[in-house]
Structure 1
Amino acid sequence: MLDDFLVRAALAGLGVAVAVAPLGCFVVWRRMAYFGDATSHAALLGVALALAFDLPIFGGVLVIALAMALLLTLLTGKGVSGDSILGVLAHAALAFGLVAVSFLPGVRVDLMGYLVGDILAVSKPDLAVIWAGALAVLALVAARWSALLSATLSPDMARAAGVDPQKEQFILTLALAITVAVAIKVVGALLIAALLIIPAAAARPLSRAPETMAAAAMIIGAASALGGLMVSFALDTPTGPTIVCIAAVIFALTRMVQAGRA
C-alpha cells in the first residue's frame, strides 16, 4: 500500500498534523507566532549543515532548530525587545542558510523543496521519521500538558504550585524543534510556522476548553493536509502552499461562524 506516493503523502500530512496541533495551541496562547517563524527559518541552515557533513537532513535540521530556539529563549528579556530579537534571528538564519547552501561544492540542492516542501516525494524512511517525531512530540506534550498549561496561563501561579515556567519553556522549545525537523519535508521552512499557527487559531472560536481546542486543531490540521493534497493533485499546484491555503480557508470559515454567533 505504501508504494502509492499519494498514500505516503497523506500519511505524512497526517503525521505533521498530529505533531503541530497541540503545540500550535501553545504557540497561539503564548503569542509565540514569530518564535515558530524564527525556528523554522533556521531549518535551512540545518539542511546546509547536514549536506556539508553528510548527515541525515532530519538530524541537521533538529540540531539547528533546537540551537535557534534555545538562543531565542536565552536572549529574550536581555535589554532588547523580543520582536527585534526574533526579527533579526529569523531573517539572519534564513540568509545564512541560503548562503551556506551556495558554498557546498558539487552538491545540487532543490531549495524550493526545502523552502515550500515536497510532500509528494516522501519516502518510506521519511514517513518513519515523520511519525516517530510526531508521536514523540505528542507524548511529550501529553505528559507535560498540565504543567505547560499552568505555566502558560500564569507563570506566578505555576511557581506557587511547584511548576518551573523556565523548564516548561524548554520543553516547549524542544517540542518545537522536533516539529520543525519533522515538518520541513512536508511544508518546507517557509510554511512550517503557518501550519503551526493557522489550525490552532481556526480551532479557537470552536472551543471552550484547552483540550477541546487541541483536538479541534488536530482535526483541522488533518483536514488541511488531506484537502490540500487533493486540491493540489487536481489543480497541479504546489502541495505545501496549497495545504496552508486550505488551512487559511478553514480559519476564515471559523471566524465567520464566530461572527455569526456574536
Structure 2
Amino acid sequence: MLDDFMIRAALAGVGTALAAAPLGCFVVWRRMAYFGDATAHAAMLGVALALAFETSVFGGVLAAALLMGVTVTTLSGRGFAADTVLGVLAHSSLAIGLVAVSFLSGIPIDLMGYLLGDILAVGKSDLAVIWGGALAVNALIAWRWSALLTATVGSDLAKASGMDPQREQLALTLCLAVTVAIAIKVVGVLLIAALLVIPAATARSLSRTPEAMAVTAAGLGSLAALGGLGLSYRLDTPTGPTIVSLAAAMFLASVLITGLRQTT
C-alpha cells in the first residue's frame, strides 16, 4: 500500500495535521501566531546547516526551531518587545537561511520544495518521522494538558496552583519545534504557521470546550490535507498552497455560519 505515492502523501498530510491541530489550539489561545511563524522561518536556516554538514534535515530543522524558540523567550524577558524580537528574528533567520543555501554548491537543493512543501515526494522513512513526531507531540500535550490550560489562562493562576509557567512554555516550544520539523516536507517553511493556526481558528467558533476544539481542529486539518491533496491532483496546482487555501476556505465558511447563527 505504501508503494503508492498518493497513499504516502495522504498519510503524511493527516499525520502533520494531527500534530499541528492540538498545538495550534494553544497557539491561538495564547496569541502565539507570530511566534509560530518565526519558528517556522528558522527552519530554512536549519535546512541550510543540515545540508552543509551532511546531517539529517529533520535534526537540523528541529535544532534551529528550538534555538529560535529559546532565543525569543529569553530576549522577550529582557526589555525587548516580543513583537519586535519576533519580527527581527523571523525575517533575518529566513533571509540568512536562503543566503546560506545559495553557497552550497554541488548539492542538489529543491528550494521551492522546502519553501512550499513537496508532499508528493514523501517516502516511507519520511512517514515514520512524521507519524513518530505526531505521536510524540500529542503524547506530550496529553500529559501536560491540564497544566498547559492553566498556564494559558494566566501565569499567576498557574503559580498559585503550584505550576511553573516557564516549564509549560518550554513544553509548547518543544512541541512547536517538532511540528515544524515534520511539517516542512508537507507544506514548507512559508506555510507551516498557516497549518497551525487556520484549522484551530476554524474549530474555535465550532466548539464549546477546549478538548472539543482540539479534536475538531484535528478533523478539519486532516480534511484540509486530504481535500487539498485531491484538488491539487485534479487541478495540477502546488499541493502545499492548495491545502492551506482549502483550510482558509473552511475558515471563511465557519465565519459565515457563525454570523448567520448570530443573526437568527
The TM-score, its normalising length taken from structure 2, stands at 0.98
Residue 6 of structure 1 aligns with which residue? 6
* 1:251 counterpart = 2:247: no
1:64 aligns with 2:64: yes
* 1:31 alignment partner in structure 2: 31
Aligned to 1:187, the other structure's residue is in SS state coil
Alpha-carbon distance in 2 for matches of 1:261, 1:164:
40
CA distance in 2, matches of 1:106, 1:258: 53
- Runs of 4+ aligned residues of structure 1 deviating over 4 Å after TM superposition are none
Q: How does 1:171-186 map to 2 (within 5 A)?
A: 171-186=171-186
Question: Who is 1:137 aligned against?
Answer: 137
Q: d(CA) in 2 for partners of 1:78 and 1:213?
A: 34
Name the counterpart of 2:170: 170
For 2:221 and 2:49, the matched residues in 1 are separated by 30
Consecutive unaligned residues in structure 2, runs of 5 or more: none
Superposed CA deviations along residues 92-127 of structure 1, whole A, max 9, x for unmatched, are: 000000011011131121110000000000000000
Which structure 2 residues correspond to residues 50-61 of structure 1 after superposition, within 5 A? Answer: 50-61=50-61
1: CA distance between counterparts of 2:75 and 2:193?
20
**Tell me, what secondary structure is at the counterpart of 1:42?**
helix
Structure 1 residue 79 displacement after superposition? 1.8
Match of 2:221, as an amino acid? G
Unaligned runs of 5+ in 1: none
Who is 2:119 aligned against? 119
Amino acid at match of 2:253: L
Q: Name the residue aligned to 2:233.
A: 233
Q: CA deviation at 1:257?
A: 1.1
TM-score by length of 1: 0.99
1:77, distance to aligned residue in structure 2 (A)? 3.3
Query: Which residue does the alignment assign to 1:214?
Result: 214
